[in-house]
Homo-oligomer: A and B are copies of this chain.
Amino acid sequence: MKIYRQETSRSLYERAKKVIPGCPFCPEGGMYGHYSTSVSARGNPVYFSTSRGSRFVDVDGNEYIDYMCAYGPMILGYNHPAVDQAAREQYLKGNTVSLASPVMVELAELLVEMVSIADWAFFSKNGADPTNLSVMAARAATGRKKIVAIEGGYHGTTPWMQDAGSGGTLEEERSSVIRIPWNDPGRLQSVIDENPDDIAGFISSPYHHPVIFDNELPEDGFWQKVEAICRKNGIVLIVDDVRAGFRADLSGSSTYFGFKPDLICFGKALGNGYPISALVGTDAMRDAVNHVFYTGTQFFNAAPMAVAVATLTELKNINGPASMLESGKKLTDGLVRIAQSHGYDLKVSGLPSMPYLRIANEAVPPVFTEGFSGLHKGLHADWISECVQRGAYFLDYHNHFISTAHSEADLQRTWDIADDAFAAVKRIYGDRF
């Protein structure tokens, strides 16, 4: 099987280092944020050239079946015809104008119709926009200060949301956020008891999808208990569905898990790659939002709103979430079987349409002991790297994403690649695992 080389990517990246800064994951510069982690992975391409359907081509001409889907936004396939047509038509009319477009009303009506708890929708750009606004709305609604969040939960990089303590954040900025473990409603109750009448809101993704660690679905009854506790104590229940949204249920991942939050944050897949995010909520939260001033220059861009209408409509027409859940299950069942045939135990966790993978023969991945400098090292990371170099674009520390564009042929090709990649790591590690 051909092994990809990335000379063009790497020489372009050398140029980038001169004019683009880095971040804690990439102190040598040239790339920052979540995109920087792929730069440091062995044999990973850095720049794309073209993209179509489930695949992209890097600047060296190598084609990859993409299981990162731009970290979530791509849900119907790159350059999807219905999406691109909706965008083109709106761009011809106008995108960012001194007034909003009628499509803003159309999209809000569609979300209200589609999302079970939604009585209204507020549009923005970054995923951190709805999470920021949701916390402000919870405080405005309750007159309380503190927010309960999950340990290792990610809601963007605004300082209050930063867990790991990035440079430049203040302790005071995190002082009103209380972190509790996932799947522990008892702990939520204790925190409420310890902070009587001071908890404004509870924010969490619909299931636990941290980086580096196995993902965890809610235990039976978890969300129902959380919902009951929040109701009883007048706490605003916020679901950060930015990452998982529309890959479990078009009515919100909370519908999939059988509970009703007060606010849901959407982003990523909502615009199939065009930048748009949204906060939706219940009637009871409307007045609180009316008291918050939150805005951005680009919040009213019309083309991404037209695209979101087209994306949601297409997802509904083809029953997108069911199809992605099924494809993801099929893909990972196949990968697990192939792993077994090589003597490896591939552990799959999280939602089937957003599978997190880990070869469990390596009980303690280097990143657990070495911290971020251990990223991309060890058996699992090497298998991922061997897959990438053969054309299946995975990432070693992050959940993956399935789109409706991933075909039977894509899965078959991925299995072949995985098989060859397992053989390659077997040659490196022999019987060590």
User: Residues on A close to B: CB < 8 A?
Assistant: 12, 15-16, 18-27, 29, 31-35, 38, 45-52, 56, 58-59, 66, 68-74, 78-79, 84, 87-88, 91-102, 104-105, 108-109, 111-112, 119-122, 125-129, 132, 135-140, 145, 156-160, 162, 164, 166-170, 172-173, 175-176, 242, 267-268, 273-275, 281, 286, 288-301, 393
Contact = CB atoms under 8 A, between A and B. Distances in A.
Most buried by B among A92, A136, A157, A275: A275
A297 B121 CA distance: 20
B176 A170 contact: yes
* Copies of the chain in the assembly: 2
Given A19-B121, A45-B99, 16 more contacts: A15-B109, A16-B108, A23-B293, A33-B293, A33-B300, A47-B99, A47-B101, A47-B104, A48-B101, A74-B96, A78-B94, A125-B298, A135-B168, A140-B168, A166-B291, A275-B297
Contact of A99 (B48, B102, B291): B48
A84 B91 contact: yes
A97 B126 contact: no
Given A102-B47, A292-B167, A297 B127 contact: yes
Nearest to A59: B102
Given A12-B102, A58-B99, A139-B170, A122 B35 contact: no
A335 to B, nearest CB: 19
A283 to B, nearest CB: 10
Contacts of A72: 297
A289 B88 CA distance: 36
Nearest to A127: B297
B168 A137 contact: yes
Contacts of A160: 159, 173
A168 B125 contact: no
Nearest to A29: B290
A157 B275 contact: no
A120 to B, nearest CB: 5
A26 B60 CA distance: 52
A95 B21 CA distance: 21
A410 to B, nearest CB: 15
Contact of A56 (B98, B135, B299): B98
Given A140-B168, A296-B126, A21 B120 contact: yes
Given A94-B79, A275-B298, A393-B98, A291 B168 contact: yes
A56 B172 contact: no
Contact of A93 (B49, B69, B70, B74): B49
A74 to B, nearest CB: 7
A73 B105 CA distance: 22
Contacts of A132: 158-159
Nearest to A71: B297
Contacts of A122: 20-21, 32
A172 B167 contact: no
A143 to B, nearest CB: 10
10 contacts: A16-B108, A19-B105, A23-B294, A32-B294, A35-B295, A48-B100, A56-B99, A66-B97, A126-B298, A127-B297
Nearest to A64: B98
Contacts of A289: 21-23, 32
Contact of A158 (B48, B158, B281): B158
Contacts of A173: 160, 173
Nearest to A33: B295
Contacts of A127: 296-297
Contacts of A126: 125-126, 129, 296-298
A11 to B, nearest CB: 11
B24 A286 contact: no
